[in-house]
Structure 1
């Protein structure tokens, strides 16, 4: 039996099925026994606890009745009577509270911050609500509940400090606010929050938090804040350099390589070889790691790339391609790379969006970076096209590819990845030197604590590794079997199982047959329900959360409440990998399970549930994108991007146009916020062209979204939407229509059709007010403030107040910028500067990098106008850094011009000339003629000799 106490009391049997414990007193009895951790509890103590000092007549007999009821549920052998009292038999990991503490201890003992953070996240994920929620009012439970809650808060604080070292200050600043409000006197928690606020650019909020703590401590306890948090307060006031994000955080921003939870074994030489091939001493810029599935290509590539992060100034980036369909184009792959490099927001502002490969090459043309394209075997041709373009256009660009098939293009160096080395002899010392044995023993010890290689089991371990051909995935899968089998028994099972010709699959290489046989054997050892969950998980393109797994895997024959435990058992068997709150299948396991799904005849039904699940997820999160949950929703949709794309592909392939249109309607605002306008346009067009029945209103909505997107992605001379046409006509929902009118209207004004755009904006304002839609009213007011000078300030002020009321960060930023433009137009430069400064951290928090650059360059111009050359140089250098990192050409041009002006103000004519020439060169190479014209338009940028 397994027990859950971190939330409402829960019990699961050995198969993972929930066990219902009826009657409140029986549940309280079980809780009492669990609180004592399997130790004996005297009968009189149980009576006192259960009836709170008022026991019924014949209380001993009544207690025995409750014990009997509990035994009927759990099994008679689970509740034992001893002279000292009753006790519950508990396995080592039978209670989630013990698992929570074990994970926390493992996290604190680990040196790698990223691994510690993940272990802390795993520990906190075990909590389903307040501990012992069923008996929270009982006196016997209060001390244990308080103890567990204190442990939970301590782990939250531990995790927050780790996340600060990883540079996650912006997310922490938002997440810890509510927790600090609930526990206002916890100085360690508030310290972490203050640091996060400061690093997120919210110095004022950090100082206010300290003042609030000082007030509450004085009023409630009559004491002052401790020395640690007081010192932090002083450091914030002085803006001391050590408060900045640690170096590890800044480095992590230049790579997205995942941190493995287990060490890489037996590949040190291979890692060195890959690094040597990509070193600066060679001309090699494309290395392809090849080998059979399960051999460890991805782990090797990530390990080699991680060791090179310091060498590539512009980053080392991992791009997972397993989720892309086989029909994907080079532009689809380029889009994935653009998204990974964080260039989406800036891509939306640049020309040539129809040629994403070309735009990507231009964006990174002068960058020194390494891109790891992972799992390319089903995309060899489009990956080869992209790789060829990058190698030709990006002199300092390097590619590391993993694939079962080579790309076969000029410049490619192929590095085969063989299985791990097998033991040559049965002597224990010789066996121990084998990398295959080393991996097996390491995984076996993790699965069965206490397992070691010794003289008694060396021969059996050697036989196991040989039978599995040293394939890492096969070794990891079988290691977990040592929980129930001895090494000799396991070796005998494998010998029987792999006897020819049973597992030899015609047409597969010998070692690939071995892996297939291992997967077959692992599959047959699963229960029917475990197989059901495992094969249905294969529909996910990029792992899934627990709620998604429940929605996709459950049906009439499998209750959703059973899925969590079945997943847990699959994780224990190494068939499913858990990373934080996501569950993933390894590539080879996913391919195998996809075959099993087809064999079971479940593909259509599971795909339909998958499409429905992610359509509903998109609609649910999309509804919350215009409010205080905006950042969390953006992060959730970011995490599900690959699955959402797959859901759209499946909806189109299955002629489910209704779901396809619903999905793109739900996601368009997300794509807009993230600057992924090309993806929005292509997805809307694809959904509208899909076969199948569709709600006419949903189609009208999609067409209106598409009109607004096309206005933002077409060149100035094109007319994607007739200026005198209202694409929102026919949309019945008044709130939705007003918002769509705003979206199309702003597109028209940005396209130069100011009169028609303003008409739609005014219609949007009227419609939003009639429908009492505060968000729509705010959006229309803020936009009209730019086009109606007489009412600009009042419109902007009211729009800002409404956006603040609904709690939309993007809206507040938009309103802030309008207020700044109005102030600038009115000649109130001081107010405009304050507003731009306030908007800067908001734009950084949302990842709107073009807005960040615009604010920095405006502040730079103000500093120049005031004669502050040094301050202007700092602002323009920061703008240039952000622009270069995000491939924002216009921002680079403006920053270079600003740096030239600052240099002129300092009297440095050579620097001014250098910056001007860079601005001119960048404007010509990027196609921004306006930038080229703007540079010489600056009066006397470079003084004449």
Structure 2
């Protein structure tokens, strides 16, 4: 039971239906009990309140009659008699006044202005009129009415100050005028109005408002304005800069570019050249940086891209391709780009999505962005196909590529990256100006504190840099040797070591031979165990954490507990790079170590350990995806995505671990992660590859993979394209009862999504029974929430409530989001706008926390619809604009259409028919599905009818 006192007295039942409380005295009795907030009220006090000190004869019996009438409406257990008096049983936020105060407190505690403003707006939306409007003249309610009115005005003032910080001064200047007229002596309210007037260019009105306050205070109270508003008056007279409207900060550039750990040396001119070639006035849209491994192409590209971040409104994105195998297709590269740009969860909404290159081009067709494709030398042909498609379909799309060779596509500008500048003389000043020397000295000083270039070592440093051809990677590898050798000793050693013909490798260019020789020398200086760890690290496609290094690099010849110390030594020697909690090999070092791994005859064994480690990691994280660690688990799997893909490739190609069924185990463990992240295309292709591998997986595991694939195909194919024979149990033969029930739910919900409600509901009901029998609270919750929309409303709401409670119990935020959506729809059916809005806001918070962007858009559009229903055009516009922004960023076309329709309806509510028509025509132009177009056309037709009338 819920009660409304912020307006005329109202009562709603558990399903949101209004309950009529007959007879004025019974309503007054209820109001009196609510005024006391669930506390006991003596009978004589109630009699005095209800009959204003003039009770009828037999007043005790009359009161009991009124109590009985109230109990018949609310239920006998709602109004109880205690020694201290009568009491109304209340729970939680069952009274809108309590909810109002809770929202206000949450708003004041929040730091983010936009969130504060939304919470204050939510609180004020609960008011339906003057508090306790039915009993406003009763003495017992006056104090509470005054308290609530004061709270409301304080919230209005709080909200006005927040809206001023958000730059909404023009709207405030118009809205606050009437309120100030009703409360002319509230100085804080008037101050907010004066600031809004001043910022809206109405300085004279702001000064007049102060003079009016001064006059009223003198006439009515014999007082003067307070110091705060007097100071504001003086500031307005002086037009102090601090009163100006806040300058809207430019939106932060969306990018995933890493922050370099060290400054880029010797490339300033090259950075400027790359920037100029991709600048606003240039016609170039594809620049390829070429050069030998270790020359610094990636560092140069990242530095140039960082400097251009403000030029590209839709972001600057680094897409690392080193982890993709040489057999990868253009679609594989497109999938990596889609994931990097954050379009992954919207791609899944398109049926029959097999052409990922085409979908990517369509998704970013109107975007202004720069994509940096890094380490493309092993994928030149495939990258060339993708680049040609993007350049043709995306007029404002720009590509920056790093590769050891050019792509050779039309429009490409090749920018060779040479080694760093070498010193031409041994004069210390001339040597210091060399960029190669500058890099070497900086890295040497970091490795051997106290080292500096001077007249005594300038010649030796110059010789070292010349001997290494100015190759940045070679300089970085040799600099740590100054811990044990002096510059002169190191120079002599390099001269002897790298003199022809020892270091020359047949067929390699001279500078490539130098780098190879440097790597050979660095390798030979390592101990046997250090070499073991280094070459085994090369199996990782995207670096690794320490636990992964221990699992993959250890073996019968090397204990796992020794790996951390050996890894630290390799970091000290600049052969391994540490970034936060991950360890990486530079591109050239990784290629060299892969050769050493093959030479040692360890390739198969290390790959098997790599596959086993990542299969076990995926299986361990799989269950955590359904619990309180869900968000962090998603982040951990995100970080390991490239390695997981490599593990699957190795397991599925009949090599590493194929006899142990790792491919099927891996896809079974990852399918729920792919589903949550919306990578349904990746899930479908991976499941198909694993099942086609014919590895040694157990029959039950293969059946589970087939069921997962069926559920995925139902979600990625057009209606009827993925048939499930009637009566078939897709999980039959799966040994684990928990997994069996979950698979029935997954396939059943897919069938329901295809419109095959009877078959789908049968499987979901079987899933519910199976989950309960197995004691799987998560599976029970998932089935209940799904069934909530397919049973009678009362039963459905009960299902949703229980499902929400179970999801809350296990800590699954995704599940809570789904349950909240069902409860919000039920509240909307009952006309409970406040509860609908609260539930959608809870869903919005969960979706944003998990990065589920289509769910974010859905929540925003539902909130916009709720605001429209309540007649709040400004709030609806803000919500639909947020939905449109997210949809555009994520290429979610369905969300864009819904947001444009919502903006059109909000504009119509404001009376701006021109804006309404503009938004609705945009919605119609963006509609690819008949249902979307029909919605836009219906809204346009209604707009025309209104205009005609």
Please say if residues 550 and 560 of structure 2, whose CA atoms lie closer than 8 Å, have aligned partners that are also in contact. yes
Q: Which residue of 1 aligns with 2:542?
A: 542
Provide Cα deviations, 1:153-175, integer angstroms capped at 9, x if missing partner: xxxxxxxxxxxxxxxxxxxxxxx
| Pair 1:758-2:758 in alignment | no
Quick check: 1:200–1:841 contact (8 Å CA) kept in 2? no
Deviation digits for residues 324-347 of structure 1 (CA, Å, limit 9, x no counterpart): 000000110000000001111111
Does structure 2 conserve the Cα–Cα contact (< 8 Å) formed by 1:391 and 1:398? yes
Contact 2:836 2:866 in 1 (8 A): no
C-alpha distance in structure 1 between counterparts of 2:263 and 2:654, whole Å = 42
Deviation at 1:877, TM superposition (A): 0.5
Q: Deviations over 1:893-932 (max 9, x none)?
A: 1111111111112222221121112111111xxx323211
SS of alignment partner, residue 402 of structure 2: strand
CA distance in 2, matches of 1:846, 1:235: 30
Work out the CA distance in 2 between the residues paired with 1:320 and 1:803. Answer: 37
Q: Which has the larger radius of gyration?
A: 2
Closer, same or farther: CA 769–441 of 1 in aligned 2, 3 Å: same
How many angstroms does 1:729 deviate by?
1.1
Report whether the alignment pairs 1:890 with 2:891. Answer: no
Relative distance call for 1:290 and 1:427 in structure 2 (3 A) is same
Question: Among 747, 772, 776, which residue is 1:773 paired with?
Answer: 776
Mapped to 2, the partners of 1:720 and 1:478 lie a distance apart of 63
How many angstroms does 1:282 deviate by? 1.2
Q: Aligned partners of 2:159, 2:459: CA distance in 1, in Å?
A: 63
User: Would the alpha carbon gap of residues 783 and 907 (structure 1) be closer, same or farther in structure 2, given more than 3 Å must change?
Assistant: same
C-alpha distance after superposition, 1:360-402 (max 9, x if no partner): 1111000000000000000011111111111111000000000
1:429-455 Cα shifts (integer Å, max 9, x gaps) = 000000000000011111111111000
Most deviating of 538-547 and 731-740: 731-740
- Residue pair 1:294, 1:588 contacting (<8 A) in 2 also: yes
1:875 aligns with 2:876: no
Q: Aligned partners of 1:559 and 1:248: how far apart in 2?
A: 58
Once the two structures are superposed, the pairs formed by residues 248-259 of structure 1 within 5 Å of their partners are 254-259=254-259
Once the two structures are TM-superposed, the CA of residue 197 in structure 1 deviates from its matched residue by 9.2
Partner of 1:374: 374
Mapped to 2, the partners of 1:242 and 1:904 lie a distance apart of 28
Deviations 1:730-761 (A, max 9, x none): 11211111111111110000011000000001
Q: 3-state DSSP class of the match of 1:726?
A: coil
CA distance in 2, matches of 1:846, 1:917: 33
* Counterpart position of 1:469: 469
Any unmatched runs of 5+ in structure 2? 1-105, 121-156, 168-245
**Quick one: distance in 1 between partners of 2:892 and 2:448?**
53
Distance 2:737 2:843 in 1: 31
Distance 1:467 1:243, change over 3 A: farther
CA contact (8 A) 1:235 1:243 kept: no
How far, CA to CA, are the matches of 1:198 and 1:568 in structure 2? 45
Which residue number corresponds to residue 920 of structure 1?
924
CA distance, structure 2, for counterparts of residue 903 and residue 837 of structure 1: 23
SS of equivalent residue, structure 2 residue 614: helix
1:672 to 654, 665, 675: 675
Cα distance between partner residues in 2 of 1:558 and 1:251: 51
What is the match of residue 398 of structure 2?
Answer: 398
Please say if 1:487 is aligned against 2:505: no
Aligned to 1:907: 911
2:113–2:165 Cα contact (<8 Å) kept: no
| Cα distance in 2 for residues equivalent to 1:738 and 1:338 | 32
Residues 508-548 of structure 1 deviation map (CA, whole Å, 9 limit, x = unaligned) = 11100000000000000111110000000000000000000
Q: Which residue of 2 aligns with 1:727?
A: 730
What SS does the aligned partner of 2:309 have? coil
1:806 partnered with 2:810: yes
Do residues 785 (structure 1) and 793 (structure 2) align? no
Query: What is aligned with 1:500?
Result: 500
Confirm whether residue 693 of structure 1 aligns to residue 696 of structure 2: yes
Give the conservation status (yes or no) of the 8 Å contact 2:710–2:722. Answer: no
Query: Residue 857 of structure 2 corresponds to which residue in structure 1?
Result: 853
**C-alpha distance in 1, partners of 2:757/2:880?**
32
Deviates more, 1:628-637 or 1:194-203: 194-203
User: Which position in structure 1 is the counterpart of 2:512?
Assistant: 512
In structure 1, distance between residues paired with 2:252 and 2:616: 33
Cα separation, partners in 2 of 1:204 and 1:935, compared to 1, 3 Å: closer
Measure the CA separation in 1 of the matches of 2:663 and 2:117.
41
Kindly state the Cα deviation for residue 825 of structure 1 after the two structures are TM-superposed.
2.8
Going from structure 1 to structure 2, the CA distance change for 1:636 and 1:326 (only over 3 Å counts) comes to: same
SS at match of 1:370: strand
Give the equivalent residue in structure 1 for 2:931. Answer: 930
- Name 1:737's counterpart in structure 2: 740
- Tell me the number of residue pairs that the alignment of Structure 1 and Structure 2 aligns: 723
Cross-structure match for 1:817? 821
Tell me the TM-score normalized by structure 1. Answer: 0.74
Residue 554 of structure 1 corresponds to which residue in structure 2? Answer: 554
CA distance in 1, matches of 2:563, 2:159: 48
Please say if residues 253 and 309 of structure 2, whose CA atoms lie closer than 8 Å, have aligned partners that are also in contact: no
1:599 pairs with 2:624? no
Q: Structure 1: which 5+ residue stretches go unaligned?
A: 1-190, 206-233
Pick closer, same or farther for the CA change 1:758–1:237 going to 2, 3 Å. farther
Shift of 1:350: 2.1
Tell me by how many angstroms 1:723 deviates: 4.4
1:236, 1:243 within 8 Å by CA — same for their partners in 2?
no
Q: What SS does structure 2 have at the residue aligned with 1:289? A: strand
- Structural mapping, 1:60-75, within 5 Å: none
